[in-house]
Structure 1
């Protein structure tokens, strides 16, 4: 006859074997995730560059075939693999921010703001809505003593600055690995989206708006910086999740879940 006490002891041991210990949880690797995401962006850029050069140096049907492949990977156009990947990174970033917001963490409103901004950026990346800012930008550039190339930057940059300031408290509250990842990712993105794109715009304007290889290569650098920046930020959010290899459990970092103390008298 089976001893009930022995059964309960065996069940308890089995439960202990699969119950994760606090010290067993490890954050998902930010460098490894970021490297893989950036590697995909590099492949897209290399395919575009190689097929462009092949198209320009070969004639006939083969040249046209290379041009077709280039069109699918050209980072300067919409509705292709490059746009799909860039937009997808933003979509994943927004979805992950929304998932964290649903967990009820500190700065919950800021997490929702990040989710909305990322989802809107995903749509914008695919449809290039930000370029419509050139209408008010054209009016502003008339007041400046210098040329900026793409005038939408005059409107887009202040909007990005305001959003950054609104999210600053949230970013500074994150664990160090995620903080560094988001700050570095944001810096790379702004260097590409504002800095390099402004230089590309000035070159295009100086060339009577004729697209040449210098502009195309400049656009590749710009988009690589943008995709790398988004990839780093996405990897930083993923690193906020922890994994226990023994039990297979995942959880959100307790440092993120911990709610900020309420003010006296707050509801």
Structure 2
């Protein structure tokens, strides 16, 4: 893909997403009166550009490069059996396993200190809307996408049939961050509603609820489901101090990663206790 095509695709994505979600946010506002150019909108716009122009394409290349390494011979028989299944069943299996893997990974990102330092970038947003969904550290986004695609890679499920599901999941991920209060009724058990994820972003010390962004039934199974009964009046963001600039947010977790690597090495583990 050329730079010109990448720029055109990014501009088109911005227009399509804005045209899709801005009217929803005006008609069904969770926080009435929130301006389009609300505080920190510019920082989130830079995150948007970074994702579409740099980190997204690099993540795709990294994930595709890793795919051939994830075909253990011990699972050759299982992959052969999966290949005989109808396409719709493969898609369902990959989706459910993706939901499970993302749930476990997301929960770990809240419980493991050095993972949290990267995930905290996403939770630093203090005003939710469709643009805020793009505030994410590149390593956080890469690992989440890798974990989500891991079952399909291991089972040998072609990515083609999953493309439409992946597109839908991406749009839904933006929807649950948007400034929208639109309860989904019984459908909300299978697809995350905005109010569930809005609660996940509440300004508390590492929230303990609603880790399955797109699959609330996972939270129900593991006892972390919470649907707030009241309208959204809680504060958003982090309970801890955190830098606000784009570059500062990209750099602040890195010392924690270096320390985690040093502590992981057996000879130095004792020094980190």
- Using the size of structure 1 for normalisation, the TM-score is 0.23
- Using the size of structure 2 for normalisation, the TM-score is 0.23
Higher helix share: 1
